[in-house]
């Protein structure tokens, strides 16, 4: 059972355009929603994150929009640049009985920004 569904699988955007990646979750107990960026040959790196009591978070050109009632959240990359070309993962985490966060990932979106 996939608890975090991510779309699209791949995305091609013109330089300067807006990249939008969508995720949906099922478990309302999730309490933290991070996004990770991964370049080829590297490990995923935390990009931006949001808690479910906030509807939007912006850091530079990256914005998370969160819709708690729809159980959906999305990443917007404004003024997309070729250097943003990477694979992006949404994730959702929940504190488990061991007292630490268990993180579930979406399947990833490969973004290509063309000049």
Beta carbon of residue 16, minimum distance to other proteins (angstroms, whole number): 29
Helix (H, G, I), strand (E, B) or coil at 84: helix
Beta carbon of residue 94, minimum distance to other proteins (angstroms, whole number): 8
Give the residues lining the site for other proteins (CB under 8 A). Answer: 6, 9, 31-34, 41-46, 49, 89, 91-95, 98-108
Chain-centre distance of CA 7, in angstroms? 10
Beta carbon of residue 46, minimum distance to other proteins (angstroms, whole number): 5
Beta carbon of residue 14, minimum distance to other proteins (angstroms, whole number): 25
Nearer to other proteins, 43 or 115 (CB): 43
Nearer to other proteins, 51 or 58 (CB): 51
Give the list of residues 6+ apart from residue 23 with CB closer than 8 angstroms, or none: 4, 5, 6, 7, 33, 72, 73, 74, 75, 90, 106
Check if the beta carbon of residue 18 is closer than 8 Å to that of residue 67: no
Q: What are phi and psi of 112, to 5 degrees?
A: -120, 125
20 CB-side CA count, 13 A: 7
């Amino acid at each position: 059972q996939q608890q975090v569904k991510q779309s699209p699988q791949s995305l091609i955007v013109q330089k300067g355009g807006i990249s939008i990646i969508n995720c949906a979750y099922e478990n309302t107990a999730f309490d933290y929603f991070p996004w990770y960026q991964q370049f080829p040959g590297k490990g995923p790196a935390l990009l931006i994150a949001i808690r479910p009591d906030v509807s939007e978070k912006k850091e530079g050109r990256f914005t998370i929009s969160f819709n708690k009632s729809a159980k959906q959240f999305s990443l917007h990359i404004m003024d997309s640049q070729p250097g943003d070309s990477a694979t992006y993962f949404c994730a959702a985490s929940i504190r488990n009985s061991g007292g630490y966060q268990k993180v579930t990932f979406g399947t990833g979106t490969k973004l290509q920004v063309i000049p």
